Amino acid sequence: MHKAGSLADPMDIDSVIPSGAVQGALDGIVAIDEAMRIVMVNPSAQRMFGRTAQQLLGRDLSELIPAGAQEAHAAHVRQFMASEVPERPMLGRGQLMGLRANGEKFPLEAAISQLDVCGDLGGQRYYTALLRDASHEQELVATIAQLNRRLRSLFELLPVAVWVTEGEWVVYSNIACARLFGVARRESLAGRSIYEFLDPAIHDAVRHKVAQALSTQEAVHSMHSRITRLDGSSRDVEMVLAALPDHSRTLVQMVLSDVTKQSQERRDLLTSRSTLRNLAASLVDAREEERRNIARELHDELGQRLTALKLELSALDQSNAACIPPQRMQSMIEMVDDTVSATRRISMDLRPLMLDDLGLQAAIEWLAQEFERRAGLKIALNLDPAPDPMHQKVLTALYRIVQEALTNIVRHSGADHVAIAITHTGSMVELRIEDNGRGFPGQPLQTPKGSFGLIGIQERVLMMGGQLDIGNQPDGGARLVVKLPLSAEQESTGYPDEGSCVSGALA
C-alpha cells in the first residue's frame, strides 16, 4: 500500500511515487485515476504492452485488456475502488489477460493498491497496478510438463522392466514391468510390496542393497534375483538398483532384466560340461584299463614266447646244427633279444606293471631312470611312501602327470636338473615338480594353444577334484604343483569356473 503525502500540486503523482523506483522497476507499474484513465506508466509496462508513454497516458485502461475480458476486468476494478481495501491481487492466478499493441494476448499477474494524493486545492485518489508478464512462466511450465511427459513415455516404453519404490512399496512401474510380472495393467502394481514378487531367500539381501543405495554415493548396485509372476511361475532376473536424486533420498529405481533363458542355457552348459567331463573320465579309465591289459598281454604272452624262442635257438646253437650257419644263429638270437627289449619297453610305456605290482614309488623311480638314460636329465626324487589305501585312479593320475611333465621338460624347457617330490597330509596328496630351465613364457602366464600335454594334466586334475598351480620360480625354472584327494570318492562331478582350481599357465 502506498501511503498518501501532502503535496503542493495534488495532480503531481510522480512526486508521490519516487521516479527512480518507478523507472527502474523490473515489473510493470500502471497508475489510473477514478475514471480508469492511465495517468502514469513506467518503462517496463511500456515494453510489456508494446506502447510508448505518449500512446498510453490519458487512455482508458480497457485498451490494455482484450475485448472479451474488458467488462469483467472493469467490474473487478470498480469493486476494488468501492471496497476501500488498501490493496489486493487482481482476480485469480492466470485469469487476467493483457493485450499488446500488435494484438497478442498474454497472461498477467497483477496486484492493485490505492493511492491518495492531497494538497491545498483538495485531494485526488489514484490506483496503481503492479503487473508481471506470466507468459514466460507459462511457457516454462508447459516446457517442463512436456519434458515430463516425454520422460514418462520413455520410461513406459523401455524394453526392460523398471519400477520405482519408496520403502518396499511400488510407486511406479512401466509397461515392460507389468509384462514381466504377468499383470494386465501396470497401475495394478502400484502400492504393492516388492517382496510379494521376490524370492524369500533374497529378501534380506535386497533390503541390504536398498539401504546401501539410499545411504551411499555409489551409482548402482546389482544382484541376481528370482521373481514370482502373477500366474505362479518364476523367472530369473538381474536387478540393478539406484537411488533417485530426490531431496529426501527415499525413492529407489530398480531395473529388472529377464535372464531366465541365459540362466537355463548356463545350467545346460554346465550340465553338458559335467557330462563331457564324466565321459572323458570314463574314457581315461577305459584307456588305462586297455593299456593295462595290452601291457600284461605283451609281458605275459609275447614276452614269454619270445623268451622260449630264444631258449630254443640257444639250444640249436649249442647242438652245432649243420644246417644253420653260426653267424645266422647268433643274428637270430640278437634279434630275439632286441624284440624282447622292445616288447618290454612298449609294455612299460603303455603302463608299467610295477605300478600295479610294486606301487607308485617304484614306478616313478623307474620312469626317472628311463628319462635320465634317454634325455641325460638329473632327477632328484623325494617320494613319501604312498598311504594305504590310495585309490588306483589317484596312483595312475600321479604317474601320468609325472610322465607328461618330464616329457614337456625335455621338449620345451632346456633344463638339465629336475626335482620331484610327493608328500601327503590329511586327505590330500601333493606332487611338486621343479626344473632349472627357461620357465613359462608370458605375463600373466597363460595356456599356449596346442599344448595338449599340459592341457591333459589340467583335465586329469579337474576330473580328480584337485588343484593345479604352475608358474616360474624366483631363481629361474618352472614349477608345477598338483594336489589331489587321496580318495577317488572326492572326484569332481561338475565343471568348475575357469581358474577355480587351476592357476598359472600351461606350456
Task: Kindly state whether residue 265 falls inside one of the protein's structural domains.
Answer: no
Domain boundary among the residues 88, 104, 135 is at 135
Note the pLDDT tens digit of each residue in 36-89: 999 989 998 899 999 999 999 999 999 999 988 888 888 888 888 888 788 777
Tell me 436's DSSP state: S
The dihedral through the CA atoms of 408, 412, 418, 420 has a sign that is negative
- Tell whether 249 and 275 lie within a shared domain: no
End position of a domain, from candidates 316, 351, 386: 351
Instruction: Say how far apart CA 67 and CA 294 lie, in whole Å.
Output: 115
Whether 31 is in a domain gets the answer yes
The pLDDT value given to residue 4: 38
Same domain, 369 and 318: no
Please report, for residues 33, 45, 46, 63, 262, the alpha-carbon distance to residue 49 in angstroms, rounded to integers and kept in the order given. 19, 6, 5, 10, 66
- 417 and 341, same structural domain? no
| Domain annotation covers residue 140 | no
- Residues contacting 494, CB < 8 A, separation 6+: 270, 273, 274, 277
Q: DSSP class of residue 15? A: G
488 pLDDT higher than 90: no
Is residue 279 domain-shared with residue 398, that is, in the same domain? no
Cα distance between residue 350 and residue 296, in whole Å: 10
Alpha-carbon distance values, 425 to 299, 430, 485 (Å): 36, 8, 10
- Return the pLDDT at 433: 94
Higher pLDDT, 118 or 475: 475
More confident residue, 392 or 382: 382
Mean pLDDT of 301-312: 70
Residue 42, domain member (yes or no): yes
- Where is pLDDT greater, at 307 or 424? 424
Mean pLDDT estimate for the chain: 78
User: Is the model more confident about 348 or about 432?
Assistant: 432
Residue 398: which CATH number? 3.30.565.10
**For 308, left (φ over 0), alpha (ψ -120 to 50), or beta?**
alpha
> Is 318 found in the same domain as 220?
no
Between CA 455 and CA 52 the distance in angstroms is 93
CA distance 368 to 420: 9
The secondary structure element, H or E, covering residue 271 is helix 260-297
Count of residues in the chain: 507
Based on the fold, state whether residues 366 and 456 are members of the same structural domain. yes
77 and 178 in a single domain? The answer is no
Asked if pLDDT for residue 225 goes beyond 90, the answer is no
Residue recorded with cell 530398480:
254
Residue ranges making up the domain that contains 115: 13-135
**Predicted pLDDT at 456:** 79
Our CA dihedral for 325, 328, 329, 333, rounded to 10 degrees, sits at: 170
Q: Are residues 232 and 253 both part of a single domain? A: yes
| 370 shares its domain with 502 | yes
Q: Write the pLDDT tens digit of every residue in 175-224.
A: 888 888 888 888 888 888 989 888 888 898 888 888 888 887 566 778 88
Which of 133-142, 390-399, 409-418 comes out lowest in average pLDDT? 133-142
Q: What's the CA gap between 29 and 161, in Å, rounded? A: 54
φ, ψ for residue 153, nearest 5 deg: -65, -40
User: What is the pLDDT confidence band of residue 408, given thresholds at 50, 70 and 90?
Assistant: confident
CATH number at residue 240: 3.30.450.20
Residue 369 shares a structural domain with residue 489: yes
Q: With contact defined as beta carbons under 8 Å apart, do 119 and 10 qualify?
A: yes
pLDDT bin (cut points 50, 70, 90) of residue 496 is very low
**CA terminus-to-terminus distance, the chain:** 94
Q: Is the pLDDT of residue 12 over 60?
A: no
Confidence (pLDDT) at 446 = 57
Q: Which residue has the cell 613319501?
A: 384
The most confident of 107-116, 236-245, 342-351, 416-425, by mean pLDDT: 416-425
- Judge whether 453 lies within some domain: yes
Whether residue 153 lies inside any domain: the answer is no
Set of cell numbers at residue 409: 621338460
pLDDT tops 50 at residue 506: no
Q: Would residue 119 count as lying in a domain?
A: yes
- Please compute the mean of the pLDDT values over residues 440-456 and round it to a whole number: 64
**Same domain as 420, residue 291:** no
At 234-271, the pLDDT tens digits run 888 888 888 877 656 678 888 888 888 888 888 888 87
Per DSSP, 130 falls in state E
Confidence grade of residue 434 (pLDDT, cut at 50, 70, 90): very high
Round to whole Å and give the CA distance between 316 and 311: 9
Are 481 and 431 in contact by the 8 Å Cβ rule? The answer is yes
Reference 11, options 40, 36, 35; nearest CA is 40
Integer Cα distance of 213 and 164 in angstroms: 13
Q: Is the CB of residue 443 less than 8 Å from the CB of residue 389?
A: no
What's the structural domain count of the chain?
4
Question: Residue 317 in contact with residue 332, Cβ under 8 Å?
Answer: no
As a whole number, mean pLDDT of residues 157-164 equals 82
Which pLDDT score, from 0 to 100, does residue 494 have?
42
If DSSP codes are grouped into helix, strand and coil, which group holds residue 204? helix
DSSP character at residue 60 = B
Cell numbers linked to 505 = 599357465
Of 101, 135, 169, which one is at a domain's C-terminal end? 135
CB 446 within 8 Å of CB 394 = no
Q: Averaged over 85-98, what is the pLDDT?
A: 71
pLDDT at 10 over 60: no
Q: Are residues 316 and 458 in the same domain?
A: no
The answer to whether residue 44 is domain-embedded is yes
Q: How confident is the model at residue 504 (pLDDT cuts 50, 70, 90)?
A: very low
